[in-house]
């Protein structure tokens, strides 16, 4: 598992807001544990990568991974570029996921991204991933489950503040699914789904949904 101190050193070039986000995100979300579910080699494309936190975690976890991050927000991508100045650990591309124009990969990852995208577009994006993946390839979707209910409601309250009032990220409405609904959708698209609850020890109903082609 990646050492937090490695990330802190890597993000020493980032602005104060990005550094604060890093520390808060690592405290409230099992990102370091999530890295261990990703294969140690191959091309990994992180869709909705923000300022590059999960791509950098993936690269620190295994230098054999080729990491590409896509995001709509040029300001966040500028922070990612600033963090890796002179190192070129990951490749970052500005892109709108709804346009379905992203590179082929062995694994696609989504970390707290899809809930901001309307349901029909979620299905379109995942269908495109299935089309581009090789046989045996994976998607990993880290989302918030609707159970346990108290943890889901706590997250919903905080997301309302962060997204709707503060405008922390793109999106004005939420499109959460239960883990059962994610599994059903993945089956419809041809994936073999597996659900891994990750909420133990956290105030939020974190869940990982893995789909294999």
**Residue-level pLDDT, tens digit, the chain, 213 residues:** 899 999 999 999 899 989 998 999 999 999 999 999 999 999 999 999 999 999 999 999 999 999 999 999 999 999 999 998 777 899 999 999 999 999 999 999 999 999 999 999 999 999 999 999 999 999 999 999 988 878 777 777 677 666 655 555 555 688 999 999 999 999 999 999 999 999 988 888 999 999 999
What lies within 8 Å, CB to CB, of 100 at 6+ separation is 124, 125, 128
Cβ atoms 164, 56 nearer than 8 A: no
Q: Which domains can be identified in the chain, with CATH numbers? A: 4-212 (3.40.50.150)
């Amino acid at each position: 598992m990646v050492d937090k101190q490695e990330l802190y050193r890597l993000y020493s070039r980032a602005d104060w807001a990005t550094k604060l986000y890093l520390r808060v995100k690592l405290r409230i979300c099992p990102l370091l544990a999530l890295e261990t579910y990703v294969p140690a080699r191959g091309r990994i494309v992180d869709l909705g990568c923000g300022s590059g936190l999960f791509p950098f975690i993936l690269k620190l976890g295994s230098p054999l991974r080729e990491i590409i991050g896509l995001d709509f927000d040029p300001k966040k991508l500028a922070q990612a570029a600033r963090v890796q100045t002179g190192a070129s650990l990951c490749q970052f591309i500005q892109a709108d996921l709804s346009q379905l124009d992203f590179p082929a990969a062995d694994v696609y990852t989504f970390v707290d991204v899809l809930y901001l995208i309307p349901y029909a577009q979620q299905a379109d994006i995942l269908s495109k991933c299935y089309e581009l993946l090789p046989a045996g390839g994976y998607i990993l979707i880290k989302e918030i489950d609707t159970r346990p209910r108290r943890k889901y409601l706590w997250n919903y309250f905080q997301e309302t503040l962060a997204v709707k009032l503060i405008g922390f990220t793109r999106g004005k409405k939420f499109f959460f699914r239960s883990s059962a609904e994610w599994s059903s959708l993945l089956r419809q698209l041809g994936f073999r789904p597996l659900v891994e609850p990750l909420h133990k020890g956290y105030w939020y109903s974190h869940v990982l949904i893995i789909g294999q082609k």
